[in-house]
């Protein structure tokens, strides 16, 4: 092993603790999160919050991981360095309380939450009771929330007239910032061939417009949130991290894989060579 290789092995990788559900397709959930974190230059520590039965069409069933198992799994990682936390699917109140406890044990670490309330195929993943508890217990601990417009409306409730009012209402509950994605239900003023994402924060509002890609994708929200958490772990500013996460996600979708059955899957590791390449022998 030469000097450069030794430096590469010893180089610190920014670590991201991921608390999310497992998706067997790899399109979303823990697999998607771990791939995104790795592709963006970090190391993922993964703790499952739920096990799902799903395919590229829809979620069929969800089994929540017990609160004690979540706490124990996260607790075993307490000696690991940690630069960010990413939260995904939370399937019931017990798991929510466990996630809240885990986050509270890591004060000062930036928290990115992707509120997974409904599967892309239409399956409901959160009751109103769980949504209310999510806003009350978890939002005050979140540095940036990454809902799509439908999730934003469900979290904020029916008392608000537009997305800005909804975002402000969630920030009043303690959430520090929101990156609202417009892929699923675009605003009327947005051209059909574009996608607009909007950052709402106390000291800055920012809009980004991207070319809309054809087809339906499974796991774009997980990809974006995990990439954002990793860029924050690296030390980027909120605006820069949001922008870099969007660039990464757009590329993962543009290079996505169409399995031929259902939604396309983001290919987070698209820069890797194809499977047909020959592995070189490593001499030790």
> Is 72 contained in some domain?
yes
Compute the distance between CA of residue 198 and CA of residue 145 in angstroms, rounded to an integer. Answer: 12
Q: What pLDDT shows up at residue 125? A: 75
- Given a cut of 70, whether residue 280 has pLDDT beyond it is no
Mean pLDDT of 244-264: 92
Alpha-carbon separation of residue 3 from 7, 10, 21 (angstroms): 6, 11, 40
Are 5 and 238 within 8 A, CB to CB?
A: no
Statement: the pTM of the whole predicted model exceeds 0.85: yes
Q: How many CB atoms lie within 10 A of CB 41?
A: 13
Q: What pLDDT shows up at residue 226? A: 98
More reliable by pLDDT, 257 or 279:
257
> Is 227 contained in some domain?
yes
Rounded CA Rg of the chain: 19
CA proximity to 222, closest of 232, 212, 233, 230: 230
Alpha-carbon separation of residue 5 from 1, 13, 15 (angstroms): 6, 15, 20
> Is 150 contained in some domain?
yes
Q: What pLDDT shows up at residue 123? A: 63
> Is 100 contained in some domain?
yes
Domain that holds residue 50: 13-254
Compute the distance between CA of residue 23 and CA of residue 191 in angstroms, rounded to an integer. Answer: 32
- Given a cut of 60, whether residue 80 has pLDDT beyond it is yes
Cα 3 from chain centre: 36
Compute the distance between CA of residue 221 and CA of residue 249 in angstroms, rounded to an integer. Answer: 9
Between the CA atoms of 95, 97, 101 and 107, what dihedral angle is there, to the nearest 10 degrees? 100
Count the domains in the chain: 1
Span 34-59, pLDDT tens digits: 999 999 999 999 999 999 998 888 88
Span 84-118, pLDDT tens digits: 999 999 999 999 999 999 999 999 999 999 998 87
Q: What pLDDT shows up at residue 151? A: 93
> Is 194 contained in some domain?
yes
- Given a cut of 90, whether residue 253 has pLDDT beyond it is yes
Compute the distance between CA of residue 13 and CA of residue 11 in angstroms, rounded to an integer. Answer: 6
CATH of the domain at 222: 3.40.1190.20
> Is 79 contained in some domain?
yes
Alpha-carbon separation of residue 61 from 141, 179, 213, 233, 240 (angstroms): 29, 28, 29, 33, 37
Q: Enumerate the H helices of the chain as residue ranges.
A: 3-10, 29-39, 67-75, 93-104, 128-133, 149-156, 163-172, 220-234, 238-254
- Given a cut of 70, whether residue 1 has pLDDT beyond it is no
> Is 263 contained in some domain?
no
Beta bridge partners of 61: 53
Q: What pLDDT shows up at residue 187? A: 84
> Is 4 contained in some domain?
no
């Amino acid at each position: 092993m030469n000097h450069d290789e030794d430096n590469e092995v010893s180089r610190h990788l920014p670590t991201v603790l991921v608390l999310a559900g497992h998706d067997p397709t790899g399109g979303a959930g823990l697999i998607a999160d771990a791939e995104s974190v790795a592709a963006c230059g970090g190391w993922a520590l993964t703790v499952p919050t739920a096990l799902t039965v799903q395919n590229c069409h829809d979620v069929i069933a969800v089994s929540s991981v017990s609160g004690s198992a979540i706490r124990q799994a996260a607790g075993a990682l307490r000696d690991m360095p940690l630069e960010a936390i990413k939260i995904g699917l939370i399937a019931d109140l017990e798991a929510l309380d466990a996630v809240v406890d885990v986050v509270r044990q890591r004060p000062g670490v930036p928290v990115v939450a992707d509120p997974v309330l409904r599967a892309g195929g239409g399956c409901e993943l959160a009751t109103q009771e769980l949504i209310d508890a999510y806003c009350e217990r978890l939002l005050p601990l979140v540095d940036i929330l990454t809902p799509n417009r439908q999730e934003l409306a469900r979290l904020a409730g029916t008392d608000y007239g537009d997305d800005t009012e909804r975002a402000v209402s969630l920030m009043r509950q303690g959430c520090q910032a929101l990156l609202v994605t417009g892929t699923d239900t675009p605003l009327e003023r947005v051209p059909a061939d574009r996608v607009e994402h909007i950052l709402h924060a106390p000291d800055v509002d920012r809009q980004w417009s991207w070319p809309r890609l054809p087809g339906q994708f499974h796991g774009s929200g997980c990809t974006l949130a995990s990439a954002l958490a990793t860029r924050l772990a690296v030390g980027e500013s909120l605006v820069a991290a949001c922008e870099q996460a969007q660039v990464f996600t757009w590329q993962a979708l543009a290079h996505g894989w169409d399995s031929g059955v259902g939604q396309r899957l983001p290919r987070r590791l698209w820069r890797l060579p194809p499977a047909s390449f020959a592995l070189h022998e490593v001499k030790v």
